[in-house]
């Protein structure tokens, strides 16, 4: 009986060692540096209530809005059923990449903070002026922001005729 127990323990120990040896190893490791980089965006959502519009948003665009060679970040934000009548309740954020591992919130100057109940975003230079623009899809009217090339954007949605007021999620530019 003791021999059987010892044998069982030995087999178990060998199995554990075998599992550890079989575990995949990788040379690539990631470290969370979001806080140290200055990126402190918090997405508003309430998925526990099961309203699909509160669970669907959260688009992000990586684009170089100022053509300095570093990708900048635009996070869309959304509202909840309770805050839907307050457009300022959820702020989307544009972060400028400082090129040294840090980012600066430039949303106020850029003027892209409150597109509404945002779902997604796509960046492209729709007018060929050399600066990428933003199209933000929303639960409600979408917004097209023209990049003025000086760190500011102008909402040209109505002029461009792309203010679909239904519910849009993803979007793409294409020629």
CB of 16 to Ca ion, least distance (A): 50
Cβ proximity of 76 and 92 under 8 Å: yes
Answer yes or no: are the C-beta atoms of 75 and 134 closer than 8 Å. Answer: no
Which of residues 44 and 156 has its CB atom nearest to Ca ion in the complex? 156
- Per CB under 5 A, 82 contacts Ca ion: no
**In whole angstroms, how close is the CB of 147 to Ca ion at the nearest point?**
5
The distance of closest approach from Cβ of residue 31 to Ca ion in the complex, given in angstroms and rounded to an integer, is 23
Q: How far is CA 163 from CA 28, 67, 83, 145, 156, in A?
A: 43, 27, 22, 11, 9
Shortest Cβ distance from residue 26 to Ca ion (Å)? 30
Write the binding mask 133 to 172 for Ca ion: x where contact by CB under 5 A, - elsewhere: x---------------------------------------
Query: Site for Ca ion (CB under 5 A): which residue of 95, 131, 135, 139?
Result: 131
Beta strands in 45-102 (DSSP E): 60-63, 72-75, 93-97
> How many whole angstroms from its chain centre is CA 79?
15
Cα–Cα distance for residue pair 79/83, rounded to 1 Å: 6
Report strand pairing: 93-97 vs 153-155. unpaired
> Shortest approach of Ca ion to residue 164 CB, angstroms?
20
Helix H or strand E segment including 120: strand 118-124
Residue 38-77 contact track with Ca ion, rule CB under 5 A, x = bound:
--------------------------x-x-x-x-x-----
Determine which residue in the list 127, 165, 170, 173 makes contact with Ca ion, applying CB under 5 A.
127
What does the block give as tokens for 153?
Answer: 């954007």
* Residues of the shown chain interacting with Ca ion in the complex, contacts defined by CB under 5 A: 64, 66, 68, 70, 72, 125, 127, 129, 131, 133
């Amino acid at each position: 009986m003791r021999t059987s127990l010892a044998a069982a323990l030995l087999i178990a120990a060998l199995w554990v060692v075998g599992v550890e040896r079989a575990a995949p190893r990788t040379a690539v490791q990631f470290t969370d540096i979001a806080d140290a980089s200055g990126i402190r965006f918090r997405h508003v959502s309430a998925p526990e209530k099961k309203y699909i519009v509160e669970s669907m948003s959260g688009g992000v665009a990586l684009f170089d809005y100022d053509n300095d060679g570093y990708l900048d970040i635009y996070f869309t934000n959304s509202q909840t059923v309770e805050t839907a009548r307050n457009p300022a309740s959820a702020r989307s954020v544009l972060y400028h990449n400082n090129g040294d591992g840090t980012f600066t919130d430039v949303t106020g100057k850029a003027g892209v903070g409150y597109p509404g109940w945002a779902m997604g975003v796509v960046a492209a230079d729709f007018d060929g002026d050399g600066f990428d623009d933003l199209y933000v899809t929303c639960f409600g009217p979408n917004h097209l922001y023209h990049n003025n090339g000086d760190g500011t954007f102008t909402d040209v949605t109505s002029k461009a005729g792309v203010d679909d007021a239904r519910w849009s999620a993803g979007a793409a530019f294409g020629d």
